[in-house]
Chains A and B, each alone.
Chain A
Amino acid sequence: MDTDAAAFAEFYTGASDDCLRVVLATVRDRQTAEDLVAEAFARAWASWPKVSRHPAPRAWVVRTALNTHRSWWRRHRREVVVAEVGATAAEPAAEPAGELMAAVLALPLRQRQVVACRLFLDLDTAQTAQTIGIAPGTVTAHLNRAISTLRGDFAHLAYKE
């Protein structure tokens, strides 16, 4: 394995689980998330001279995975023919999870993305906004709402215990 490949393998080993967690928080389907992240890392290796110099290569991978997910063909399982235009695609089934993980996956999309970026990628507000494609000014609001909801869920769980 040459030097570049070794450096990429080290990056992959250290970052792949956290990238998967962020993408899972977005798509809420484990298999889809694994496919997306694996493909995003393959693209990262294909563009390694650029990605290795990126200020936040983990964010690059997540951004690539989320961009790919937005592409229609990634959801071919839920496609409907043209005669059914107007029908709404079904939400993916929620990932079986622990109770706090389930609480995160139950948050609105932007809230769970912001929480995941902060938790698993340690991104600041500007990087989070860039990674998930929202205005920087809304990141803090999403994070505060998410934490407030999770705090309520956590208190409920603690009470049950």
Chain B
Amino acid sequence: MDDQDLLAAVREDFAGVRLNTAAETILADGGSLRRKRNRRRVYGAGVTALAAVAAISGVTLASGTSGASGTQDAQLTAWTVQKDADGTIDVTIHDLLNLTGLQQKLAADGAPAEVVSDAHYPAACVDHQAMTADMASVITNGPAVPNGYAFVIHPAGIPSGSKLLLDVTHLTTVTSSGVTTTGGGVGGQLWGFGASQVGGVSVSAGMGLVYASSNC
């Protein structure tokens, strides 16, 4: 028996593995996803327009800010990043906007990070070997916040030569609470850390440690 015969026999053994979901169901789910994505784009465009208006009127509206809300009359914020005196960084995420800005802000505050959404990991990112052991010293829970997710980054805990991989997403259902560990990961190894909060939270985040490189 040659390799082709062997592989044909394996293929035959998998023949009973079939996806039974109807195409109509997939079309409906994909259509819903597309409409949600379009609404997000409209919302993002609205934020941009409001920011332009705010720039004229003197009100601060942003897709991301670096501090507390202050005394502005109104604030529309996708995320906030605030560095504390002890070097820790408080992060709250409400929406998946201006993630490049979030990544730049975290780096400026001493937490090198690769920020992605919906599990779109750069292919060049490789799990850091210390991830599972050291994540507890890198990320801890933040306070409960309505319609968002809050966590604290401890830059001192990020091993030399590594960076955070932060994956944010919209969720419809969250079944667990608190910062958690779990399997998975960029390279198919242990992912190390995830985070979520129970009840009505539309945004959540997963974190890992990856080797810092020119492509990641």
Which residues in A have some Cβ–Cβ distance to B below 8 Å?
5, 8-9, 12-13, 16-17, 19-21, 24, 26, 30, 34, 37-39, 41-48, 67-76, 78-82, 84-89, 97-101, 103-104, 109-110, 115, 118-120, 130, 132-133, 147, 150-151, 154
Contacts of A133 in B (CB 8 A): 123, 186-188
B17 to chain A, nearest CB (A): 5
B69 at the interface (CB under 8 A from A): no
Find out whether the CB atom of A72 lies under 8 angstroms from the CB atom of B17.
no
Evaluate whether A101 and B14 lie within 8 angstroms (CB atoms) in the complex, with A70-B188, A82-B180 already known: yes
Question: B178: which A residues are within 8 A, CB to CB?
Answer: 81-82
Report whether B26 and A42 are in contact in the complex, using a CB–CB cutoff of 8 Å: yes
Query: In the complex, A8 Cα to B31 Cα: how many Å?
Result: 12
Chosen A-B contacts, 15 in total, with CB atoms closer than 8 Å, are A12-B23, A21-B17, A38-B26, A41-B26, A45-B31, A68-B119, A70-B191, A72-B194, A75-B191, A76-B175, A79-B180, A80-B180, A81-B178, A85-B136, A85-B181
| Given A12-B23, A17-B18, also A71-B167 (CB < 8 A) | yes
Q: Which residues of B contact A80 (CB under 8 A)?
A: 180-182
Is the pair B6, A37 in contact by a Cβ cutoff of 8 Å?
no
B11 contacts A120, C-beta separation under 8 Å: yes
Q: Is the CB of B37 within 8 A of A73?
A: no
Instruction: Tell me whether B171 and A73 are in contact (CB under 8 A).
Output: yes
Residue of A nearest to B179 (CB): A82
The closest CB in chain A to the CB of B208 belongs to A72
Partner of B120, one of A67, A87, A97: A67
Residue B135 is within 8 A (CB to CB) of chain A in the complex? yes
Asked whether A37 lies within 8 Å of B181 as measured between CB atoms, the reply is no
Bound complex: CA A113 to CA B163 (Å): 27
Chain A residues with CB under 8 A of B194: 71-73, 75-76, 79
Is B190 interfacial (CB-CB < 8 Å)? yes
Closest chain A CB from B138 CB (angstroms): 10
Question: Is B3 an interface residue, CB under 8 A from the partner?
Answer: yes
Residues of A close to B190: CB separation below 8 A: 88-89
> Which residues of B lie under 8 Å from residue A120 when comparing CB positions?
11, 14
| CB contact between B19 and one of A26, A37, A104 (< 8 Å): that residue | A37
Cα A37 to Cα B3 in complex, Å, equals 28
Q: How far is the CA of A154 from the CA of B14 in the complex (A)?
A: 15
Taking a contact as CB atoms under 8 Å apart, the answer to whether B10 and A73 are in contact is no
CB distance from B19 to the nearest CB of A (A): 4
Which residues of B sit under 8 angstroms from A30, Cβ to Cβ?
Answer: 17
Tell me if B21 counts as interface (CB < 8 A to partner A). yes
- Check if B169 is an interface residue, CB within 8 A of chain A: yes
Contact for A73 among B1, B133, B135, B204, CB less than 8 A: B204
Interchain CB contact under 8 A, A70 and B119: yes
Q: A41-B30, A46-B31, A73-B171 are in contact. Are A154 and B9 (CB under 8 A)?
A: yes
Residues of A within 8 A of B3 (CB): 147, 151
